[in-house]
Structure 1
Amino acid sequence: MSVVVYGSGQLAQMMYLAGAPLGIDVQAVDVNTDTVVHPVSKTPLDTSLSQALESADALTVEFEHVPERLLDEAAKTGKLMPDIASILVGADRVREKKLLQSMGVANCMHRIVTQLDDLDACITELGSRLILKASRDGYDGYGQWRLTDESELPSLKKSLASLNLEVVPLVVEKMVDFDRELSLIGVRNKQGEIRTYPLAENLHHQGQLHVSVAPATEVNEALQTQAHDIFVTLAEGMDYVGVLAVELFQCGDKLLVNELAPRVHNSGHWTQSGSVTSQFENHLRAVCGLPLGDTSAIGPSAMVNIIGCGSFSRELLSIDGSHLHWYGKSVREKRKMGHINVTAPSYNALGEKLTALSQFLPLEYFPKLTEEANRLKG
């Protein structure tokens, strides 16, 4: 079987590695050059894009910001999974909010803004503590602004004055006093079979995910079921095929959807070591029409992102249960360079292993590591 992935970054690489044992050949598309490349070496392959699309059993994406001309071309083959409408929901927060509203899925109170003067009405309706998000092309904290007091509004308007909000509207959300950030990775195949993973707890710094712990601590059956039901509503309502990540705010015993990602997701990397079947394998199974794999956790695990850091001791591999995933990129500030998965028999043992891990890393690049290690140790 053959799968073509639009995008040639680390997610395509990890899909390739997951597909090899199944006999699924994964090729990647450099969407900047329309070139078919090897997902690991990035070497151009001796095949054109049209030839690759014709011979593939399935087409998919590693990120939602694929040029629409390429998505249109892929959609015409009838092999694109998830479908183009689902991918575009992940690329446009206005579409995303409309989808959540249409399906009755709880999310943050918000307004869509196409004129700066509409911000005054947002304060009247939503209050003076707001998060403003560009509806397209914003990620990892980029394309976001905060308003914490009405007195800041004139300054905020000045900083936004150069934006064309008619072309790229703002989604203005009421700032939520949530207890913590969670995410659910789920998967649905072409036959409609659905499986979801245990909830993961996510710690962010400056808008980027730094540490995920799964299964999240202090999750009862009712909360996991609520998350599962949200996924089922979305996946069935969208006729979705593949892995879908649902980012959530926990507010007491209620979950609000923050964002959707129509693809394998950073907060699901823990599944490579911490679950029976990784999100990458299950995504390939889903788009190829194969039965889905077991999504159970095999024990507590953590995923630690390596961000903007290229120098650390590989002796971290001396820690039992630690696994390094290096992406082979050139170092750049705020760039995801790789991640480390750590598994343990208990949360306390996981905290001890994260403390040990900190001895091999420059902690200025890992601002959440010690905090999370101490929390898990109680």
Structure 2
Amino acid sequence: MSAPVVAVVGGGQLARMMAPAATALGVHLRVLVESPTSSAAQVVVDAPVGAASDADAVAALTVGADVLTFEHEHVPFALLDRLAADGVPVHPGTHALVHAQDKIVMRRRLTELDAPCPRWTELAGPDDLTAFLADAGEAVVKTARGGYDGKGVRVVRSADEVADWFAAAADGGVPLLAEEKVPFTRELAVLVARRPSGEVRTWPVVESVQRNGVCAEVIAPAPDLDPALAARAVAVAVRIANGLDVAGVLAVELFEVDGDVVVNELAMRPHNSGHWTIDGAVTSQFEQHLRAVLDLPLGDTSARSTWTVMANVLGSALTDLTDALAAVTAADPAAKVQLYGKDVRPGRKLGHVNVSGDDLADVRRRADAAAALLRGESPA
């Protein structure tokens, strides 16, 4: 009997972090990478080079594969539908993936599922935004497709502030939507794994700390979260996973607002908010994603420690982050470092550090200190 083959579109750090889980399970990982130096190409042996939009490259990737999955959502629908029609198992399928690719489609479906959403509207033109602002005064305008890590998002008080986006949309570009600016107290996330046969598992609800629109820190579990609200957040995430027929890992990003939660974004793949699970949970999100898309029984999602904090390394003064490894491991032998093998650019996600323990303040301090060393800084 040959090992299962999982084909993955996308050669970034998420595919890279699937590799150890695949090795442990005896799964053959085949990854379509953007270049021979991509993050995943450095650690995955079977890594053909090609674009996610290249139908021939993606089709070749699936030859002999048990399933096709993704580390990002930017794959054309028509291509995936054609593969599915040819009998290739695609998880998540386009019927689910579209909700992570198109924010208007997502909002429509979440509204149908009675999932808590901010007040929102599609924008056919500037007059629609002006009318929306008449009630709200301020709005978050988003491009329906293509945005991530704060890109494709603007907080505005006037339609003039997105005149360029309206002009692009009128010229056949990406449609726009507006959402109310939610007065949230913090950002939460629920990670859900669901297999095609319907089994669902969730990890503890986490708090996600953003800086400049990018996740900088994740605290697991979210501190001082009312158990009833945690249960509500999990129930919302599971309802979405089932309602969208997700297969794989789904990240549901939430705002905590006045004792309730509101859905912000969805991602149908392993997610930054789940990197803590590599060291802090019985089953990591990467192993679970492989189990889920292969329709294997899902793993235990219990936390291994009272607290686990993940600190992202966003940019660095160092040319090579491995130069800091001696300092990091000497300062905190229990800190778990993951480097992504990327060229250094300002603000770029270059790696992360996980630290676990029983004292949250101490765990946060240690995680931040280790990340600072990897950025070429002195710990605070």
TM-score of the two chains, using structure 2 as the length reference: 0.87
How many Å separate the matches in 1 of 2:190 and 2:94? 22
**Whole-angstrom distance in 1 between the partners of 2:372 and 2:347:** 22
Q: 1:299-327, CA deviations, whole angstroms, 9 ceiling, x for partnerless residues?
A: 21111111222625222123132111111
Aligned residues of 1:31 and 1:66 also touching (Cα < 8 A)? no
- The answer to whether 1:134 aligns with 2:143 is yes
- What residue number does 1:80 align with? 90
Cα distance between partner residues in 2 of 1:155 and 1:44: 46
Which of 291, 305, 308 in structure 2 is aligned with 1:301? 308
* Aligned-pair identity (%): 35
Q: Secondary structure at the match of 1:164?
A: helix
1:204 matches 2:210: yes
**Residue 124 of structure 1, CA deviation:** 2.3
Task: State yes or no: 1:316 paired with 2:328.
Answer: yes
Q: Aligned to 2:67, which of 44, 55, 58? A: 58
Change in Cα spacing, 1:116 to 1:226, as seen in structure 2 (3 Å) is same
Q: Equivalent residue of 1:19, what SS?
A: helix
* Inter-CA distance 281–355: structure 2 relative to 1 (3 Å threshold): closer
Q: Deviations over 1:143-179 (max 9, x none)?
A: 11112x4xxx264154445322564221111111111
Structure 1 window deviating more from structure 2 (344-353 vs 2-11): it is 344-353
Match of 1:110 in 2: 120
1:360 maps onto 2:373 in alignment: yes
Contact between 2:352 and 2:371, CA under 8 Å: does it hold in 1? no
1:70 to 44, 60, 79: 79
Q: Could you say which residue in structure 1 is the equivalent of 2:283?
A: 277
Residue 223 of structure 2 corresponds to: 217
Q: Deviations over 1:16-66 (max 9, x none)?
A: 221111001111113689x9x857257755997545413111111111112
Pairing 1:7-156 to 2, within 5 Å after superposition:
7-30=10-33, 38=41, 40=43, 44-45=47-48, 49-76=58-85, 77-125=87-135, 127-147=136-156, 149=157, 153=158, 155-156=160-161
What letter corresponds to residue 303 of structure 1 in structure 2?
A: M
Q: For 2:355, which of 342, 353, 357 is the aligned residue?
A: 342
Aligned to 1:193: 199
Using the alignment, how far apart are the partners of 2:376 and 2:317 within structure 1? 13
- Does the 8 A contact of 1:7 with 1:66 survive in 2? no
1:222-255 Cα offsets, whole Å, 9 max, x none, are: 1221112112211111221110000000013201
**3-state DSSP class of the match of 2:253?**
strand
1-structure distance, mates of 2:371, 2:58: 44
Q: Does structure 1 conserve the Cα–Cα contact (< 8 Å) formed by 2:14 and 2:71? A: yes
**Are residues 157 and 240 of structure 1, via their aligned partners in 2, closer, same or farther at CA, if it must alter by over 3 Å?**
closer
How far, CA to CA, are the matches of 1:274 and 1:216 in structure 2? Answer: 14
Aligned letter for 1:308? G
RMSD in angstroms over aligned alpha carbons?
A: 2.6
Corresponding pairs, count: 360
Shift of 1:268: 0.5
1:363–1:210 Cα change, 3 Å: farther
**Distance of 1:339 and 1:74 partners within structure 2:** 35
Counterpart of 2:340 in structure 1 is 327
Deviations 1:185-239, CA, capped at 9 Å, x for gaps: 1101122111100111111111111111111101232122111211221111122
Distance 1:331 1:234 in 2: 36
Q: Secondary structure at the match of 2:235?
A: helix
Among 231, 235, 249, the alignment partner of 1:243 is 249
Runs of 4+ in 1 over 6 A off after TM superposition: none
Distance 1:330 1:174 in 2: 37
Map of 2:52 onto structure 1: none
How far is the alpha carbon of 1:361 from its aligned partner? 4.6
Q: Secondary structure at the match of 2:169?
A: coil
Instruction: Give the direction of change, closer, same or farther, for the CA distance of 1:324–1:289 in structure 2 (3 Å limit).
Output: same
Inter-CA distance 360–49: structure 2 relative to 1 (3 Å threshold): closer
The Cα shift of 1:86 comes to: 1.3
What CA distance in whole angstroms lies between the structure 2 residues aligned with 1:213 and 1:222? Answer: 19
CA distance in 2, matches of 1:176, 1:169: 22
Helix, strand or coil: the match of 2:238? helix
Corresponding residue of 2:238: 232
C-alpha separation in 2, matches of 1:43 and 1:52: 10
Residue 111 of structure 1: how far off its partner (Å): 0.9
The 3 A distance-change label for structure 1 pair 157 and 52 is closer
Shift of the 67–355 alpha-carbon distance from structure 1 to 2, 3 Å rule, reads: closer
